[in-house]
């Protein structure tokens, strides 16, 4: 079935550093791709999305580009802040199936040190 794979392990970096979190997907249909963020003690929030190949989603300084040729949707931010510390989930939903049930990656804990 449809699935998402995120890079293993937490990410620890200093404030103002560049952040990249890798995400690749496997899907038979025409997936929409998402990044969700989970701050401590809270539910998931949609960070950004892209619904077709070559679309770029962006929000709060984060960006991700839907790359069909590499089946990837990597998340990037040029200069992170301590407030960006959270767990980040890549996800997809299959448009062809016409269903919004999301398949999530396992998430990456990001810790930004002042």
Partner 1 sequence: DSGVTQTPKHLITATGQRVTLRCSPRSGDLSVYWYQQSLDQGLQFLIQYYNGEERAKGNILERFSAQQFPDLHSELNLSSLELGDSALYFCASSVGQGDYWEKLFFGSGTQLSVL
Told to check if 25 binds partner 1 by CB under 8 A, we report no
For the segment 44-83, give every residue that binds partner 1 (CB under 8 A): 44-46, 51
Tell me the closest approach of the beta carbon of residue 52 to partner 1, in angstroms: 11
Total chain residues near partner 1 (CB under 8 A): 23
**Strand partners of residue 110:** 11, 86
The residue from 50, 77, 105, 112 that contacts partner 1 (CB under 8 A) is 105
The DSSP-derived string for 15-81 is TT--EEE-EEEE-SS-EEEEEEEE-TTS-EEEEEEE-STT-EEEETTEEEE-BTTTTB--EEESS--
Could you list the residues that contact partner 1 (CB under 8 A)?
Answer: 32, 36, 41-46, 51, 89, 93-95, 98-107
């Amino acid at each position: 079935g449809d699935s998402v794979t995120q890079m293993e392990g937490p990410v620890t970096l200093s404030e103002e550093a560049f952040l990249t979190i890798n995400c690749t997907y496997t899907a038979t249909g025409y997936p929409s791709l998402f990044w969700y963020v989970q701050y401590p003690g809270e539910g998931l929030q949609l960070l950004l999305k892209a619904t077709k190949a070559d679309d770029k989603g962006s929000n709060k300084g984060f960006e991700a580009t839907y790359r069909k040729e590499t089946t990837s949707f990597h998340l990037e931010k040029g200069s992170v802040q301590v407030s960006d510390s959270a767990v980040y989930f890549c996800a997809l939903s299959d448009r062809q199936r016409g269903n919004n049930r999301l398949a999530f990656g396992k998430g990456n804990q990001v810790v930004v040190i002042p």
